[in-house]
Structure formats: structure tokens, C-alpha cells
Amino acid sequence: MTEEEFLARLPLDLSPQQRAAVCAAGGPVLLLAVPGSGKTTVLVARLGCLIHCRGVSPSEILTVTYTVSAAGDMARRFAALFGDDLARQLSFRTINGLCASIIHTYARRKGSEPFALADSEAQLNAVLRDLLVRTGADYPSEQQIKEARTHITYCKNMMLSEAHIHRHTVEGMDFPAVYFEYQDYLRRSRLMDFDDQMVFALRILRREPEILRHYRTRYRWLCLDEAQDTSKIQHVILALLAGEHRNLFLVGDEDQSVYGFRAAWPQALLRFEEDWPGAKVLLMETNYRSTGAIVSRADAFIRGNRDRRDKHMRTDNLPGEPIRRVVLSDYSRQARYLLQAAKDRTRSTAVLYRNNDSALPLIDLLEREGVPYACRQREGFFFTSPIVRDLTDILTLAYHPEDRERFLRVCWKLDLKIKKALLTGLLTRQRSGETVVEALLAGTGLTPWQVGRVKAFGTHLAKLPQMSSFAALRRIVNYMGYGDYLGEQRMDTNRLDVLLALAVQNPDPAGLLHRLEELRHLLSGGGRTEPVAFVLSTIHASKGLEYDRVLLIDAVEGVFPARRQEDASPQEARQALEEERRLFYVGATRAKHTLELLTYEKKFGEPVQDRFPFVSQLLGEPERSPQSADTPAPQWELDFIPGAAVVHRQFGPGVIQSRTGSIAVIHFDSAGPRRLDLTACRKGRLLRRADEG
């Protein structure tokens, strides 16, 4: 069958660029496909063209995809176009599936038993938790364990030498010690993890010419999807397999490479002609998904990156509505704005974010309101993170002041200025029912100044249950010394902000603790399986998907883009920022018709540094509207949020505990809780913020 006959029979309306890709001949070919350009359709059609037009046997074609689900989807698409019989003869595999096959082929030929695959996440997490403790980490969190695994994956996928691994640093742990002890554990247990599969497979291909020859003969044609997110070791394995026949077809887009933390290696796309002399590079630059307004601005935005090929995304779609910047008056209002968006069920809507934590305040409201939603990626790292664990420990201690173990976990992070060893010694004589403060004051060995610190701590602790959740957390951070600890440790406080947002929505401290536990259990479950119109997702989990309306949230510097690492070199900082820009680009191009970018002017009443670089760049620096999008209320009223310190002309100083509309419950130092109308108080000049002077 000729190419013209094949294309005529194909039930697809292909553009000239798509036709060129479908009919690409053998040899090394790189297809660069912009978002929404139909790359999967083209890749599947090319497989059919190889079989029907070039006489390639289906059994000689290997297509490597990023995930098992993607492999299954591609097989189904091929079967729908060319029939089940041919589909069954093709190989659609993940790289790990291919490597497992290589390892088992080697084991059969050598008559040996391969290492077992350690596919139990719980087992490996337990091993790493033990190793973190043994190498000096106190109370390792699930997030720290995840970071250790991520960096182990990075080292193996980047093929780092032992010398490089010894220099590889991870904050909060002795990473080289953890890495080598982890590898020693796997070796002694005759286990391999998923990354070891690739290490072992590459070693076999390099050392066993017969096995390499076997796979080169079996798979004369190789196709790789999502090439921009393929790691260095994966590219090396595929290059070895394609080395003899050189029939390698890569499909990807370096502008959509967002897995640098997993050692994604988009450099393979940038240096393709250098690695494969005589290679052909094809482009698919038409976006069939998004409106003209979204496509033109996204194309201009991504051109801000240096490490990319010169290509231009375009579309024949109508311009549509302009991209909208939503300027909220305060971060604490973001979840409420999104809740209203969730009630629009006439179109598919996605809330996209950089970090899973960003969704928690919204999930809290959606669950309370009974609004149906789907969350594509559920994890509970927030609840066991050091900041959240510390603050919930201190709040819990306020309700259980006799809890010695909880006190000893956090005491050295607060403003006690007393060595933990001395406190531990004094508490060994704690009597049943005695609070830790009483036990410390009953002992000997504290100086008068230290006694004063303990009494002050006890006073703070006793007041926490009487305050709003927001005010209690602010007291811990601002007046009990925990904020100083965060600064000394240079810890990212984004999770503190999320916890404060949850505190605003759950004003009673005991209720907040209970709600956090409910949310933790909720997120550990499987979530909804039925289709719904409102979806929450990280941008990473949204790749390949599309929605009528997309809301990109937390688009402020320090969250998205993330904070720059202080010890990063200029080149590392640039590369990190370019990956952040690629991630924002991927999120923006999920939108078909409507794209909203959410920012805020204040965070819990405090002005946010006016830095929204990605929003400004995507929009081409338009004039900002001074009017916040979420409320027509006067600016003074927007400042009176839970936790704000106020002064009343009659009742004196107080703190806003909760607020519904203009009605607030304020706890005054002299008069206790009072329910007041903020609008009436302000008009009568009865109430002001404490910082107004």
C-alpha cells in the first residue's frame, strides 16, 4: 500500500505536519509536538504506516510509554484503527517492563535467580525510615522519606558515580550515608527497586553481547513517547537497542519536560542530531485544543526559556475570551472563590496547582458543602510534615499539658532557652496527673531566669484553647518562639500558610485538630471513581488532559514559581526557574476555552510582595486592576479577618476569633467574647485594627 492510499483510508483528518510525521521513514527521527497537537494519534497512525506501507512486521516494533495506563491507551487506540489482531502482535511497554524482560532473559540463560523486585512501598519506606534514624534524623516524616526516595531515584537515573553521590546533599539528612546503606540492604536481601531494574538491564546489555543482539534482532523499530520526561539511563538503554538498525522515533517536547526531580533528561531532545548523525527533526506546531488567546500568550511565555528549540505554537481556533487574572483580596479567600467555581457544573473545570497542599483548604470546604469533586492525586504528606506536626503537637499539648513525650518533641524549638537534656532530666520525676510545667517548676536546677521562661510557656499554653485556631497558631509562631526556629532552620513556610487557611475555616482549636485528622483519613482513601465536572489536580498529574475551564492557583512568587534554593549556582537557579516556567506552561495549556490565574494582594492581612512573575509574563504585563475580584467590600473590612488584633473604644484590645459576613466574634482581654457588627463599629469609629495606631 502506498502512503497516499494509506492516508486516504485512514479515518483521520491530518494536517501536513501530521502527515509528514505519520509517513516518516526509518532512521533516527525526532518529532517535537506542542500541547494539543495530537501526538498520540500521530504516533499510533505511524505504527500502522510502518506495517501497511513499509512491510514492517508488527512483532519487530517496540513502543515505550511513560506509564502502564498510557501503554494500554495506546494499544486500544491502535486496535480501534487497525484491528485487534495487529494490536496483539505489537509491543507496548513501559521502560521498566522492558528492563524486567532483559533481566529475566539474562537469568534464564545463566540459570540463575534474579533479585526479587521490591515493589512494596510500605516495605521500602520502613527501611528508609530506619536508615534516616540511624544516620541522625529525629522523627523522620513521610515527606523526608519521600525526599530520600526521590533523590535515590535521581542518582540512579542520572547514572551518578559514587564520587558524585558522596557530594550529593539533601537538607535534613545525611543522604550519602542513607543511599549507600539502602543499597547495601537491597544487596543483602537480594532485592532490587524499580530504578535498579534499569541499572541492572543496562549492565546486562553492556556486558552480554548475545543478549543485546537478541533484543536488537527482536525489536528493529523503536518508538518512544513522552521523550522529554525520559531519564538519562532510559535514553542510554534505548540508544543501545537502536544502535544497529538506527530506527528510533522519539516523540516529545522539551517545553513540557517537568520531571527534573526524577532525572528527566530533555537534553536528549536538544542534542538529538549530535547523538544521531543524519537524524531528521519534524515539528507539529498546531494546537487543536485551546483558543487563540491562550495559545498565543502561552507560546510567547515559553519563549522566555533558553534551553529549548525554536518552534512556535499556533492554532486555527477562534481567539475566544482573554486570559483572566483574578486578584483576590487575601489568600484566605482563595478557597471560597474556588468553591463558587465548583458549583458551575455546565462545563468541565480543573483547579490546577504546583503542590498538593494547595488543595487542602478547598477540599475542606467542598466536603463541608457536599459539592462533588474528583482529586487526581491524593497524599497525606502535609499532615506529617515537620511544621504541621510541630504545631499540632503544641496545640494538642495545650489540651493535654501532662504529655511529656509530646513536650520533649517540641520544647527545643520554642522560646524556652533551656537545654533539652536538663528538661528531660527534670521530667523523669513527673508524677501522674502532673503537667509538664508543674513538674519542671517542682524540680531543682533551673535558674530564676529559666523559671520565668517555663512560667511564660505555661501561660501561653493555657491561653491557646481559649483563642481562635488562627490566633492560637499565630501566638505559637510569633510569641512562643516557633517563628524564630523556622527562620533559623530556613524552612519553607508554605505549609504554615495552608494550615492557617484551614484554621480560618475551623475557628475552634480542638475542632481544627479533629478536622485535620478527618482530612488525613479522607486523603488516604481512594477518592471518587464516578466522573464529575470539577477536578482538583497537580499540574504534573494533569499532563495529557484537557478541560473547558482551568484555574491556576497560588500563582505568586515563593509558591509558583517556588522559592530559589539559596545555595544554588546561577546555572542551577536558571535551570530550576526554566522547569518552573515549563510547569506553568503545561498547566495553562490544559485549558480549552477559559483560563484564570489566581493571585492575592494579602496573606492573612499582611501585604504580599507584589511579585507575580509568571502571571505578568503570560499576560504580557497588562495594567493591574486595583479592584479585587472576590468582593466589592471596602478595603478596611477586608482587613478584619480571624486572627487580626483590634482595639475597641469601650472594650479595649482583642482578637477576632471568627467572622461571618460583617458579624464577628471578638475575644477582648477585658470583656471576653463579644459578637459585633463590624460595619456598624467602623462607621461609629468604635473599632480599629491594633496596627493602625
Q: End-to-end distance of the chain based on CA atoms, in angstroms?
A: 85
Nearest C-alpha neighbor of 352 from the set 367, 368, 341, 365: 341
Torsion sign across C-alpha atoms 312, 318, 319, 321:
negative
**DSSP string across 49-89:** HHHHHH---GGGEEEEESSHHHHHHHHHHHHHHH-HHHHHH
- Tally helices (H) and strands (E) across the chain: 32, 20
C-alpha–C-alpha distance, residues 570 and 129, integer Å: 33
- Phi, psi torsion values for 29, nearest 5 degrees: -135, 135
Residue 629 in grid coordinates = 475580584
- For residues 612 and 624, what is the distance between their CA atoms, to the nearest angstrom? 11
Alpha-carbon gap, residue 299 to 293, rounded angstroms: 10
CA distance 284 to 31: 7
Measured CA to CA, the distance from residue 277 to residue 287 in angstroms comes to 30
Q: How far apart are CA 517 and CA 259, in angstroms?
A: 31
281 neighbors 30 (Cβ within 8 angstroms) = yes
Calculate the alpha carbon distances from 660 to 498, 656, 678 in Å: 20, 11, 10
Give, in order, the Cα–Cα distances in Å from 513 to each of 391, 396, 421, 502, 533.
Answer: 10, 8, 29, 10, 31
d(CA 222, CA 242): 7
Q: Tell me the C-alpha distance between 441 and 506, whole Å.
A: 34
Distances from the Cα of 17 to the Cα of 7, 281, 587, 689, angstroms: 13, 12, 25, 62
**40 known ligand binder:** yes
* Beta carbons within 10 angstroms of residue 34's beta carbon: 25
Ligand-binding annotation for 34, yes or no, is yes
Ligand-binding annotation for 36, yes or no, is yes
SS3 label, residue 447: coil
Distance CA 273, CA 265 (A): 16
SS3 327: strand
CB 192 within 8 A of CB 117: yes
Look at the chain and count its residues. Answer: 693
Q: Give the 3-state secondary structure of 271-322.
A: CHHHHCCCCEEEEECECCCCCHHHHHHHHHHHCCCCCCCCCCCECCCCCCCC
Return the DSSP state at 266: T
CA distance 165 to 180: 9
Which residue reads 479515518 in cell numbers? 11
Nearest to 463 by CA among 658, 672, 648, 639: 672
Q: Among the residues of 158-276, which ranges form H helices? A: 162-166, 175-188, 194-207, 209-218, 232-242, 267-270, 272-275
User: Of 553, 462, 546, 467, which Cα lies nearest the Cα of 511?
Assistant: 467
Q: Is 39 annotated as a binding residue?
A: yes
Q: Binding site annotation covers 38?
A: yes
Would you say 589 is a known binding-site residue?
no
Q: Summarize the annotated binding site for ATP as residue ranges.
A: 33-40
Annotated binding site: 33-40
